[in-house]
A and B are shown apart, each in its own frame.
Chain A
Amino acid sequence: MDRRAFLTSSAASAAVVSLPWRIAHGRSGWRSFEITTRLDIQRPAGLSRAWIPLPMSGSLDWHRGQGNAWHGNAARAELMRDPKYGVEMLYVEWSASESAPYLELSSRFSTPVRDRSVDLSGPAGGAALSAAERKFFTAPTELIPTDGIVRETAEDIVKGNRGDVGKARAIYEWVVDNSFRDPKVRGCGWGDIKAMLETRNLGGKCGDLNALFVGLARAAGVPARDVYGIRVAPSAHGYKSLGTGSPVISKAQHCRAEFFAPGFGWVPVDPADVRKVVLEEPPGNLPMDDGKVEAARKRLFGSWEMNWLAYNMGHDISLPGSRGPQLPYLMYPNAETGGDRLDQLDPDSFKYVITVRELKA
């Protein structure tokens, strides 16, 4: 099916529906991408369902969602939104009689060519959170408690630091100094920070290390949040470990973090990527005083390279219609067949393939 046929025929069939494409942003300084998820339910055993994360639909100064479209043999597909965090997902359902359930979802979005940066040394503006927002972004989640060992650790780290920026900086440096990237962790890690602190094992991946930053910040009273997404392009900064060089990005999921600085707004940080540079940047196992590590450490407090797509900022996600467990976050496609969850961390047996291409103006 060619692209035009795909877009125009969508409304005609109950089993082929499109969500509206938005007009592409032609402004210079932005790059547009199309990310496609092809999902096949292997060995279907009765009714099958899938929940696929969608790019954030809103427009920010670092992200513009442009819409989604899908085709396949599903009996039902519907855009759904988590009521608490606004996490958007495509819910898909196949009848028990469908012998080879499949779906292909394409989403378009734009990101700025330049890094998303916040200059904390510059003059502060008027950015502020309401009391309700501040409470929301300092609240605990299921795996990110803010009391007990998390609070004790946070209070110890921020001792002597005043203001949210100073506290966030101290926590960022502490996470970078005390954690490590553990390549044996499956996926991105589930971010059970209480367990990490209790066992004194601060190894993990982005889902663990950036959750540690978020939890410690929240426990110290600094509003913070995880941002879940996927890498879509190579790093323009020359870091092999911080980008993807392949159009197949099924395992390129990556979450980041933000904290809120009064006067400046949400500030991007990514201590997990500093530890990724340490472990993976060629030749590997770099010392902390290596120039590449030092540069990344400086850059990743206050900026993100936008070779990455943001899906959402949600925690404790209950998949609509599922009787299975809630998820710490929704960053991978999920599916069930015959009431059994498939392994979201194993795209090859699930199976799903995520590909990306940059759209040329």
Chain B
Amino acid sequence: MRARWLLALLAFWVAGAIAGPPKLELEDLDGRVHRLADYRGKVVMVNFWATWCGPCREEMPSLERLRQALEGRPFVVLAVNVAEGGRVAGDYLKTMPHKFTVLLDRDGSLTKAWGARILPATYVLGPEGELRIRHVGALDWASPEAQQKIAALMP
């Protein structure tokens, strides 16, 4: 599985910055609004997921392991739940220990604007908000290769 994930990772890695992502302004599970601008200066991973998506559920623990591995460094994970609402997302996350930020795209419109048609979809933005990595499908984000790539984006 690890080898297959790595191949997928390389296949979707973006060399250099590409067109900027759409805006992001969403509430978290406690109703606090988050914007991309809040995280300027940090590498931001935006992961679109849903509870019904099996690959998303498989991938999610690796997001938390990645967050733990990079704790204290300028890096943040924003896990955007797609069109399920706080009740469904919150109930699921009780079974999935995590400290990353979970946001709610209640009507799915932001997900559509980002072009995340296939879940999970992950976007990694550089410190200036530029899009550096785009990946469709599940990946072991805690793998040394992925950590190295993300760390290389840090200021």
Q: Which chain A residues have a beta carbon within 8 Å of chain B's beta carbons?
A: 182, 184-187, 190, 192, 194-195, 198-199, 323-325, 336-337, 339-343, 345, 349
Contact = CB atoms under 8 A, between A and B. Distances in A.
Nearest to A349: B91
A342 B83 CA distance: 11
A184 B54 contact: yes
Given A198-B118, A323-B107, A190 B88 contact: no
Contact of B54 (A185, A198, A340): A185
Interface in B80-116: 83-88, 91, 106-108
Nearest to A338: B87
Given A186-B52, A323-B107, A342-B87, 4 more contacts: A187-B52, A190-B52, A324-B83, A325-B83
Contact of B118 (A199, A323, A325, A336): A199
B131 to A, nearest CB: 20
Contacts of A324: 83, 85, 106-107
B61 to A, nearest CB: 16
B118 A340 contact: no
Interface of B: 51-52, 54, 83-88, 91, 106-108, 117-118, 136-137
Contact of A343 (B54, B84, B137): B84
B102 to A, nearest CB: 14
Nearest to A189: B52
Contacts of B117: 192, 194-195
A349 B95 CA distance: 14
A175 B84 CA distance: 30
A188 to B, nearest CB: 10
5 contacts: A195-B117, A199-B136, A340-B86, A340-B87, A343-B84
Contacts of A337: 87
A213 B101 CA distance: 39
Residue among B84, B85, B106 with the most chain A CB within 10 A?
B85
Contacts of B118: 192, 195, 198-199
Contacts of B84: 341, 343
A341 B88 contact: yes
Closest 10 pairs (CB-CB, A-B): A325-B83, A340-B87, A340-B85, A341-B85, A186-B52, A195-B118, A343-B88, A325-B108, A184-B54, A325-B107
B137 to A, nearest CB: 7
Contacts of A186: 51-52, 54
B52 A325 contact: no
Given A184-B54, A192-B118, A194-B117, A199 B106 contact: no
B73 to A, nearest CB: 32
A158 B75 CA distance: 50
Contact of B106 (A182, A198, A323, A343): A323
Contacts of A349: 91
A222 B117 CA distance: 26
B93 to A, nearest CB: 13
Contacts of A198: 118
A190 B51 CA distance: 13
B85 A345 contact: no
Given A194-B117, A323-B106, A345 B83 contact: no
Contacts of B136: 199
Contacts of A343: 51, 84, 87-88, 91
B12 to A, nearest CB: 12
B107 A341 contact: no
A306 B137 CA distance: 38
A324 B105 CA distance: 10
Contacts of B85: 324, 336, 339-341
Nearest to A42: B87
A325 to B, nearest CB: 4
A182 B52 CA distance: 13
A341 B52 contact: no
Contacts of A194: 117
Nearest to B52: A186
B88 to A, nearest CB: 4
Contacts of A345: 52
A42 to B, nearest CB: 9
Nearest to A182: B54
Contacts of B108: 325
A72 B117 CA distance: 40
A182 B88 CA distance: 23
A343 B88 CA distance: 6
